Amino acid sequence: MTSFSLNGRAVDVAADGDTPLLDVLRNHLGLKGAKFGCGLEQCGCCMVLIDGTPVKSCGRALSTVAGRQVLTIEGLGTPEDPHPLQTAFLDEQAGQCGYCLPGILVSAKALLDRNPAPSRREIALALDDNICRCGSHVRILKAVERAGVMLRTGAMRAAAEGGQ
């Protein structure tokens, strides 16, 4: 039995510790956001956050997440309360087929969590492990920039309201 936090909830998984995390997420826990792309940890379709760090889950053994926090695209936001990244990606029409987007979104979240005002170069570097074959790169970069602005202005608004 492997216990860890998944999208803010404690889970216990009865699977062999060598089972790839992606397999556990998709086939044991029913989360279909992270995708199987190459299976070689090269495309980023399976990207999740482990303790806030982007990690390719296709080659990550379940045993390595014991006691840790895992965030998938399903934990990013909801249709009723989307994360600013999700809103920005919709506003910028930054996705076409969508296969790569879950990995890109969680990678972008990790970047914005540590740097809410990244340069375009920093965004490109943070997303370098995510392959998008649709050619949406420019819109993806704009969406991450927009989400950073949304997060910063939302934080500034919340601070101002708290100070009243």
pLDDT at 114 over 60: yes
Question: pLDDT tens-digit profile of 26-70?
Answer: 999 999 999 999 999 999 999 999 999 999 999 999 999 999 999
Q: Give pLDDT, residue 3.
A: 98
- Residue 47 is inside which H or E element, if any? strand 47-50
CA-to-CA distance for 145 and 115, rounded, in angstroms? 11
Residue of 85, 93, 104, 94 whose CA lies nearest to 35: 104
Residue of 67, 69, 144, 70 whose CA lies nearest to 113: 144
Question: pLDDT tens-digit profile of 66-92?
Answer: 999 999 999 999 999 999 999 999 999
What is the second-level CATH architecture of the domain 2-75? Roll (3.10)
Which sequence spans correspond to the domains of the chain? Answer: 2-75, 84-162
For the segment(s) 84-162, the CATH number from 1.10.150.120, 3.20.20.70, 3.10.450.50, 3.40.50.1860 is 1.10.150.120
pLDDT at 159 over 60: no
